[in-house]
Amino acid sequence: MTDFSRLGVAAIRDGVANGEFKAVEVAEALNTRVAGAKALNAFIVETPEMAVAAAQAVDADRAAGKPLGKMAGVPIGMKDLFCTEGVQTTAASHMLEGFVPTYESTVSANLWKAGAGMLGKLNLDQFAMGSSNETSYFGNVISPWRRNDGGNAALAPGGSSGGSSSAIAARLCPAATGTDTGGSIRQPAAFVGISGIKPTYGRCSRWGVVAFASSLDQAGPMARDVRDCAIMLEAMAGFDPKDSTSLDLPVPAWEAALNSDLKGKRIGIPREYRLDGIDEDIAKMWDNGIAWLKDAGAEIVDISLPHTKYALPAYYIIAPAEASSNLARYDGVRFGLRDLPEGAGLQDMYAATRAAGFGEEVRRRIMIGTYVLSAGFYDAYYTQAQKVRALIARDFENAWASCDLILAPTAPSAAFGLGEKNADPLSMYLNDVFAVPASLAGLPAMSVPGGLDKQGLPLGLQIIGKALDEQAVLNAGLAIEQRSGFTAEAGEWW
């Protein structure tokens, strides 16, 4: 009997289309796996009946000879930042506990239209703020991976899309949605040995996605290989008049154009990313990545992105600034939680609701954001950060004169243990150091598995491309995937 948990997006789609198995069989098998993996805490809400209903519709369409969508019969996990009609959407915050949207996000609607079904809503860092999934109101997500030291230390699945990464690595679902504001698709993908791509800003509609930092937020797919990411991105992307930053461009046929022959491509290696004291295993993996791309026909060039060191500080001003503005809407009146102490007035209700509804990290960001936007400090912090952002974007523009793609590590370390970094926000923020420059510049960037470190944990290689050139990013990802021989899996302890 087929073990459906081993099939990816393409294999499920093709098997359903060819009549090898029914979509309902796949949905039922994965529903069972989801139900059996509570220890990972990857899902906030499970929706087995929705997965089955979508699968039944696909099986009926096939029986009737109707054309099937790009994701027909593929059950996926939905990050709980996407509004889903009739299904609680929380952004992993107490503030939105019990909030049931009356509308569907454009990205999730596109996926359902393409024939995908929903296994459930995936846990994440609260309002997508975090790098370890430890800021969720609904508890930590645990990575299925463990160190090879014989200990049982619970490891972070990365963040903020930690439910997505953990569920895919544990083979609860072949793919899941992620969102990436400053690395939240790429870093969790790297931590659990899967792939994920953040497309060019504007490729996927933000409509119906709970906003964090609107000038950076972008949705994208996470899956176990590059082809599956290409398929799912095609289903997610597309112009949406309801999002003013949506790009009015056709969606390329990324899957059909996958090609790992990189002859004629120049790959830039940014010297500023070779930080002093860089982890030895990360440096080795990066060198391997360079060798694999060379083997695929690419030419390797040394490049400079001189403003790299300012990217992290600029991000941690701009993202909180936008967050403080976006999160002003949670006032106890319109959405979710209301905390109305006896005899309290309107201001007291706002204060009580926001104090009770937001977690510590969210409150920290709102305070930082409010501070950097305040009249006396606006120019010193916010305006300055925007200038730095422009310089970072220009660094990439200049780099494209000598290269077509950039190769770097996704994160400076392998997965860390739960609780290891959350007492010190700065050390947590530092984990985003390689991810945020591409976010600030709005460029497509992908993480693919690059190997294992000494502790037996996955490491990710990041490929950054020119705006709108997701194809080149995916192709380089495929070239790495074909050479890295990465087949490691987490042992099934849960």
Q: Which residues are catalytic?
A: 79, 160, 184
> Which CB sits closer to ligand GLN, 285 or 433?
433
**Identity of residue 449:** P
- Whole-number Å distance between alpha carbons of 443 and 438: 5
> Which CB sits closer to ligand GLN, 104 or 134?
134
Stretch touching ligand GLN by CB under 6 A, among 181-189, 262-270, 275-283, 449-457: 181-189
> Which CB sits closer to ligand GLN, 54 or 443?
443
Choose, by CB under 6 A, the member of 115, 182, 268, 369 that binds ligand GLN: 182
Please report how close the Cβ of residue 182 comes to ligand GLN at its closest, in angstroms: 3
Please report how close the Cβ of residue 160 comes to ligand GLN at its closest, in angstroms: 4
* Tokens encoding 487: 């087949």
Name residues whose C-beta falls within 8 Å of residue 267's C-beta, 6 or more positions apart in sequence: 290, 293, 298, 299, 300, 301, 403, 404, 405, 406, 407, 476
Residue 392-431 contact track with ligand GLN, rule CB under 6 A, x = bound: ----------------------------------------
Q: Give the distance, in angstroms, between the CA of residue 397 and the centroid of all CA atoms in the same chain.
A: 25
Q: Does 180 bind ligand GLN (CB under 6 A)?
A: yes
Please report how close the Cβ of residue 206 comes to ligand GLN at its closest, in angstroms: 12
Q: Does 183 bind ligand GLN (CB under 6 A)?
A: yes
Site for ligand GLN in 100-139 (CB under 6 A): 128-131
Please report how close the Cβ of residue 196 comes to ligand GLN at its closest, in angstroms: 11
Q: Does 260 bind ligand GLN (CB under 6 A)?
A: no
Name residues whose C-beta falls within 8 Å of residue 272's C-beta, 6 or more positions apart in sequence: 304, 305, 306, 308, 309
In contact, 9 and 175? CB cutoff 8 Å: yes
Size of the site for ligand GLN (CB under 6 A): 14
Site for ligand GLN in 369-388 (CB under 6 A): none
Rg (CA), the chain: 21
Site for ligand GLN in 134-173 (CB under 6 A): 159-160
> Which CB sits closer to ligand GLN, 123 or 353?
123
Name residues whose C-beta falls within 8 Å of residue 281's C-beta, 6 or more positions apart in sequence: 414, 451, 453, 454, 459
Task: For residue 458, list its beta bridge partners.
Answer: 452
Choose, by CB under 6 A, the member of 212, 292, 358, 382 that binds ligand GLN: 212
Name residues whose C-beta falls within 8 Å of residue 189's C-beta, 6 or more positions apart in sequence: 158, 165, 178, 195, 196, 222, 410, 447, 448, 460
Interacting residue ranges for ligand GLN, rule: CB under 6 A: 128-131, 159-160, 180-184, 212, 319, 432
